[in-house]
Amino acid sequence: DTQMTQSPPAMSASVGDRVTITCRADQGIGNYLVWFQQKPGNVPKRLIYGASNLESGVPSRFSGSGSGTEFTLTITSLEPEDSATYYCLQHSSFPSFGQGTRLHI
């Protein structure tokens, strides 16, 4: 099974900042990588699929990059509503999630 290591586990940032969250796979997964945002009490919301494709309706300040084993989610110009937990998911083999990154604005 493919293990995903996500970092950092938690972070604080300010409105207008740029933040980066990283996911590393212990084996190559091509671009089979999805990023989700989850707010307390809510269902996970897909932000990015195919490692770098922005989901329709998601603000352009969100972007994803990477392939193979290392991936990043970047949020530029943070807004207060970006406060949430972010998860990566690989679906190259049996799916697996990263541990999550709690972002506090």
Partner 1 sequence: QVQLVQSGAEVRKPGASVKVSCKTSGYRFSSSEINWVRQAAGQGLEWMGWMNPVSGASGSAQKFQVRVTMTRDMSISTAYLELSNLRSDDSAIYYCARGDGFDSWGQGTLVTVSS
- Hey, is 80 helix, strand or coil? helix
1 binds partner 1 (CB under 8 A): yes
By residue count, the chain amounts to: 105
58 forms beta bridges with none
Which tokens sit at 20?
Answer: 């980066």
> What mask of x and - would describe binding to partner 1 in positions 10 to 49, judged by CB under 8 A?
----------------------x-x-x-x----xx-x--x
85 forms beta bridges with 38, 102
Size of the site for partner 1 (CB under 8 A): 21
d(CA 1, CA 38): 24
104 binds partner 1 (CB under 8 A): no
84 binds partner 1 (CB under 8 A): no
The residues binding partner 1 (CB under 8 A) are 1, 32, 34, 36, 38, 43-44, 46, 49-50, 55, 87, 89, 91, 94-100
